[in-house]
Amino acid sequence: MNKSYVIGVDYGSDSVRSVLVDANRGDEISSSVFYYPRWKKGEFCDPSSSQFRQHPLDYIEGLEYTIKECLSKAGGAAIAKDVKAISVDTTGSTPIAVDEKGTPLALLDEFAENPNAMFVLWKDHTSVLEAQQINEHAKKFDKNYLQFVGGVYSSEWFWAKLLHILRVDEKVRASLFTWVEHCDYIPFLLTGGTQAADIKRSVCAAGHKSLWSADFDGGLPPNAFFSTLDPLLDGITDRLFTKTYTSAEAAGNLSPEWAERLGLSTGVLIGIGAFDCHMGAVGGQIEPYYLSKVMGTSTCDMLVAPKDEVADTLVQGICGQVDGSIIPGMIGMEAGQSAFGDAYAWFKQILMWPVANLLADAQGIAEDDVAKITAIIDSQLIPQLSKKAEALPVTIQSELAIDWFNGRRTPDADQTLKGAVQGLHLGTDAPRVFRAIVEATCFGAKSIANRFVEQGIPVKGLIGLGGVAKKSPYIMQTMADVMNMPIRIHKTEQTCAIGAAMFAATVAGIFPCVEDAMQAMGQGFEKTYEPRPDMVEIYAIRYQRYQELGGFMENHNA
């Protein structure tokens, strides 16, 4: 059999990972990770104001480094000649301002240090006001332009971020030609695009974040919708797009420049991009009506269903339902939580404060010993908290938390909401608070599943994807108990990159459709967590208390 290799590139919040995969067998030949250097230093970010920006050079340098290292590890030119396609997934909505040539403004000298000219990361919440205004503005129109994004627009999305940048930065506003998602920019870059008007937009990003729908004339809401929201948006739709593409389609061929940089052929096809959770669901072998949960810093919960079965059903308060956004020919539905792993990381950071701030100044402890002690505590903290929390008895009166530490994504997006912990007393210790946070993230997941079911979309089971799913048995068992349904854990930790590779294999024509690529390249599942009846009963009561506390928090949000 002739060898056929594909490359999947997965852009996460902290790093980019590339995998080189044997398309015929699904075997991972090599992989490489690149941590964004500017992001790692905290450059261009201000967490206190929820500003999170990433420099395009972090993305571009990581793209070149990881693909070249994958090829080098696998045998260099000998294997490079058989690479057929590359596909990319990214976080989202993570858009950037580009000029008429499609160049991100931050790559121009005058904007090199301007955060407003950089990619606005998905978890940047500086546009909360703009999202609120979009939601109020949409009520003025007879046509419901928010109907395919769950009826609520989020500050994490395309239009809110664009309007915010236009309002706060006159220089960026004067130089901006159009606004582009990260997942659409990278294929444009790899194919050597020179005109922003030629950027091919993914239906995934366009449908879930940009208000695009085939049901609207021209795809996007009309200019009048935006110009009456704010005159700064007048005419912007003329510089955006009317057509979208699925990830089973090609954006073009690898450009001569990038072929030389990577050591590949210009015959390599570049697939249309998509968001990480959507390709991750494919890499995790999603099935109709199974909620595929990509669990990392946040969660993205993906569900696919046949178009004829969904019919006119619209689920309110989720992140949209779009034809072909996950699997071409099916309706893709997205929900999720703004903080999942981030909630655990926040608590870990609280507990690590004395180590980070006091140990280094302690007298008589060598610098190397400080580093060793810090590393040990850092690596063991969450595993030990999990072990101790799992051993605790769960009662109705146990400490209770709300998981909105980074606002609420779904159901019913509201990034102004805050987290909370209730029921603290002098016997409350770190494992008990950690347990409350774990339960809260699982209760948040249950509220998402319940919303689907309440509005006519059944949830038959759960698929757990990503690092948290594979590394945290305590959290996954709690999830099964709270949700009262089994959760299958996929073998592949890098489901997003593998999903991108599956789409690359489809784009290359190695498989006629992505479902066939999933079947041939999928690695299956390694474990199933079954709900425990005794825990299901008590968690059903605690979930009601979670809802009551959440309602109180919403009513007293300031």
How many Å apart are CA 316 and CA 139, to the nearest integer?
15
List, in sequence order, every residue forming a beta bridge with 204; answer none if it has no partner.
none
Supply the pLDDT for residue 89.
Answer: 98
Supply the pLDDT for residue 1.
Answer: 56
Ordered by start, the domain boundaries in the chain are 5-284+492-523, 341-491+526-555
CB 127 within 8 A of CB 164: yes
Q: How far is CA 344 from CA 382, 386, 497, in A?
A: 8, 11, 24
Q: How far is CA 281 from CA 48, 304, 505, in A?
A: 32, 9, 16
HSE-up of residue 255 (Cα within 13 Å, Cβ side)? 13
The torsion angles phi and psi of 345, rounded to 5 degrees, stand at -65, -35
The torsion angles phi and psi of 32, rounded to 5 degrees, stand at -155, 145
List, in sequence order, every residue forming a beta bridge with 31; answer none if it has no partner.
19
User: Which homologous superfamily does the CATH classification assign to the domain defined by 5-284+492-523?
Assistant: ATPase, nucleotide binding domain (3.30.420.40)
Helix (H, G, I), strand (E, B) or coil at 335: strand
Burial of 224-234, coded b for 16+ CB within 10 Å and e otherwise, reads ebbeebeeebe
Look up tokens 């950037």; give the residue: 96
Q: What is the pLDDT along the chain (558 residues), one digit of tens a residue?
A: 579 999 999 999 999 999 999 999 899 999 999 999 999 999 999 998 999 999 999 999 999 999 999 999 999 899 999 999 999 999 999 999 999 999 999 999 999 999 999 999 999 999 999 999 999 999 999 999 999 999 999 999 999 999 999 999 999 999 999 999 999 999 999 999 999 999 999 999 999 999 999 999 999 999 999 999 999 999 999 999 999 999 999 999 999 999 999 999 999 999 999 999 999 999 999 999 999 999 988 899 999 999 999 999 999 999 899 999 999 999 999 999 999 999 999 999 999 999 888 887 787 888 888 889 999 999 999 999 999 999 999 999 999 999 999 999 999 989 889 999 999 999 999 999 999 999 999 999 999 999 999 999 999 999 999 888 999 999 999 999 999 999 999 998 889 999 999 999 999 999 999 999 999 999 999 999 999 999 999 999 999 999 999 999 999 986
CB 284 within 8 A of CB 465: yes
CB 258 within 8 A of CB 192: yes
Q: Give the single-character DSSP code of 4.
A: -
How many Å apart are CA 240 and CA 49, to the nearest integer?
29
How many Å apart are CA 408 and CA 412, to the nearest integer?
7
Q: How far is CA 458 from CA 142, 300, 305, 326, 476, in A?
A: 30, 18, 10, 18, 21
Q: What is the pTM of this model?
A: 0.90
How many Å apart are CA 185 and CA 59, to the nearest integer?
10
- Integer Rg of the chain from CA: 23
User: Which homologous superfamily does the CATH classification assign to the domain defined by 341-491+526-555?
Assistant: ATPase, nucleotide binding domain (3.30.420.40)
Amino acid identity for residue 100 in this structure: E
Helix (H, G, I), strand (E, B) or coil at 75: coil
Amino acid identity for residue 88 in this structure: V
Supply the pLDDT for residue 558.
Answer: 63
Supply the pLDDT for residue 336.
Answer: 93
How many Å apart are CA 66 and CA 72, to the nearest integer?
10
CB 249 within 8 A of CB 260: no
